[in-house]
Amino acid sequence: MADFLTKRSTDYSQWYTDVVLKAELADYSPVKGCMVIRPYGYAIWENMQAILNKKFKETGHQNAYFPLFIPKSFLEKEAEHVEGFAPETAVVTHGGGKELDEPLIVRPTSETIMYAMYSKWIRSYRDLPVLINQWANIVRWEMRTRLFLRTTEFLWQEGHTVHATYDEAQEETLKILSIYKNFAEQYLAIPVIQGKKSDAERFAGAFYTYAIEAMMGDKKALQAGTSHNLGQKFAKAFDVKFQDQNGQWQFAWQTSWGVSTRLIGALIMVHGDDNGLFFPPLIAPIQIVIVPIWQTDQQKNDTLTLANTLKNEILKEFIVHIDNREQITPGFKFNEWEMKGVPIRLELGPKDLAQNQVTIATRFKDKKSPCPLDNLKTTIETLVVNIQKALFERAKNFMKENTFTVDNYKDFLAANEKHGGFFLVHWCGKTQCEETIKTESKATIRCIPLDTVPEKGKCIVCSEASNERVLVAKAY
């Protein structure tokens, strides 16, 4: 089955496209740069939504929905913001058969339309905090697109909160960053590095941008989520004000934050191998596939009956799929589900039935083992925990093995060129040195890690004093 997948070592990028298409996660659409998310891929997004919604709601956030269209003049109200987004917008110029007086931008992000409403709704400190999240489609005109990683239209959630003080906004910004980190590590089994972005990499209009960065299978970095402390920039542009307890009008403090369908791309690249996908059980669209094996009609009847009992009763708390397709061999099915990344496979043959057992195989391709039906539920529960943990540990070790502390610029350039990975280097903080690194190595300063230990050193480029190391890597 995996014969038709390009090997990762041959062409990582082609391997990625191969698995996305063959596993039917997504497909190219007739509209340039837009993708179709097929049911198997969309189920992952639904799982992500369910987990994040729970976390957002537990922390007091509410969902809402704001318009797709943004008047062009709104985007222009915050200077940095328009500079950042205007070049990549899709513009509606005609509606209902007529040319519009003012063109409408298809939202590339919703700060401007949401804050125009916030300005109307917020009057008093009693109205704060506003803690709103939106699940929506977003359009950014991209020239070079990759399924899930960079598409003209993508799906995301964007949180937009308003607070009475800077401290509260900063606390919210970091609280969300920490929700993202836990989500990535506990559910996606993707270890991430939390950090602050350099000024050059800040979100257009933000005061501070924080992000979680993950290492993909080709050792490149992927920004997996961002959380912005917007300060008062947008509040001033959109007149988001409140009367404080003394009756004084104050500009509010804001945050925004988001993760998108590109996380599905991260899942593929962190856990996939030359045999295809490997989904961590806690996010998998299918956790367990049951392959009944039969030759006679009686065997077919018996194995399908047991398969249904497993799905609807014994294993009902799991996401189970029964592959009952005719005219396809069990071996073909095994390979297909392996390629599609289902973490646990149960084989149900006549011999298993006779012995009141099932045969368990995991996506790790370790030795298959029989399991008596009586123990099945607890065995699977343990397996889910263990596979989840093993995937996380494997990814963590991979990141650790491929993260290098370097102090000499030439060594950095050579290592980055030769084997790539994450590099922890000293940087003076100047945009000029950041630019030099970017130009000469194609790697960028991903972030200033939050858990960095203060350490005296010299900027790897200009040798000026530095107090901490930053994370540098080539990135998606």
The footprint of a second copy (CB under 8 A) covers 27, 29-31, 34-39, 42-43, 45-46, 62-71, 74, 86-97, 103-104, 106, 113, 116-117, 120-121, 126, 132, 136-137, 139, 141-143, 152-153, 155, 325
Q: How far is the CB of 72 from a second copy (least distance, A)?
A: 11
Q: How far is the CB of 172 from a second copy (least distance, A)?
A: 17
Contacts of 260 (CB under 8 A, 6+ apart): 138, 154, 155, 156, 157
Q: How far is the CB of 13 from a second copy (least distance, A)?
A: 23
Within 224-341, residue ranges assigned H as helices are 233-238, 262-271, 297-309, 330-339
β-bridge pairing 422-426 and 403-405: parallel
Within 102-251, residue ranges assigned H as helices are 111-121, 166-182, 233-238
Query: For 28, phi and psi rounded to 5 degrees?
Result: -70, 150
For residues 125 and 244, the answer to whether their CB atoms sit within 8 Å is yes
Q: How far is the CB of 116 from a second copy (least distance, A)?
A: 5
Measured from the CB atom, is 122 or 387 closer to a second copy?
Answer: 122
Q: How far is the CB of 71 from a second copy (least distance, A)?
A: 6
For residues 472 and 437, the answer to whether their CB atoms sit within 8 Å is yes
CA distance 253 to 80: 17
Measured over the CA atoms of residue 224, residue 159, residue 253 and residue 180, the dihedral's sign is: negative
Q: How far is the CB of 320 from a second copy (least distance, A)?
A: 13
Residue 456 tokens, joined: 């005296």
For residues 252 and 241, the answer to whether their CB atoms sit within 8 Å is yes
The C-alpha angle with vertex 275 and arms to 272 and 280, in degrees rounded to 5, equals 35
Measured from the CB atom, is 33 or 225 closer to a second copy?
Answer: 33
Measured from the CB atom, is 24 or 393 closer to a second copy?
Answer: 24
For residue 293, give the nearest of 363, 350, 355 by alpha carbon: 350
Q: How far is the CB of 235 from a second copy (least distance, A)?
A: 17
Q: How far is the CB of 307 from a second copy (least distance, A)?
A: 17
Measured from the CB atom, is 100 or 450 closer to a second copy?
Answer: 100
Measured from the CB atom, is 130 or 383 closer to a second copy?
Answer: 130
Measured from the CB atom, is 87 or 372 closer to a second copy?
Answer: 87
Q: How far is CA 256 from the centre of its chain?
A: 16
Measured from the CB atom, is 45 or 207 closer to a second copy?
Answer: 45
Q: How far is the CB of 268 from a second copy (least distance, A)?
A: 17
Q: How far is the CB of 293 from a second copy (least distance, A)?
A: 20
What is the Cβ-side half-sphere exposure of residue 403, based on CA atoms within 13 angstroms? Answer: 20
Measured from the CB atom, is 35 or 192 closer to a second copy?
Answer: 35
Instruction: Indicate the DSSP class of residue 124.
Output: B
Q: How far is the CB of 44 from a second copy (least distance, A)?
A: 11
What is the Cβ-side half-sphere exposure of residue 217, based on CA atoms within 13 angstroms? Answer: 22
Measured from the CB atom, is 318 or 412 closer to a second copy?
Answer: 318
What's the N-to-C CA distance of the chain in angstroms? 28
Measured from the CB atom, is 57 or 368 closer to a second copy?
Answer: 57
Instruction: Indicate the DSSP class of residue 375.
Output: G
Burial of 54 (0-12, 13-18, 19+ CB in 10 A): exposed
For residues 11 and 234, the answer to whether their CB atoms sit within 8 Å is no
Measured from the CB atom, is 24 or 417 closer to a second copy?
Answer: 24
Q: How far is the CB of 181 from a second copy (least distance, A)?
A: 26
Three-state SS for 314? helix
DSSP codes of every residue in 259-291: EETHHHHHHHHHH-BTTBEE--TTT-S-SEEEE
Measured from the CB atom, is 42 or 364 closer to a second copy?
Answer: 42
The C-alpha angle with vertex 44 and arms to 40 and 35, in degrees rounded to 5, equals 65
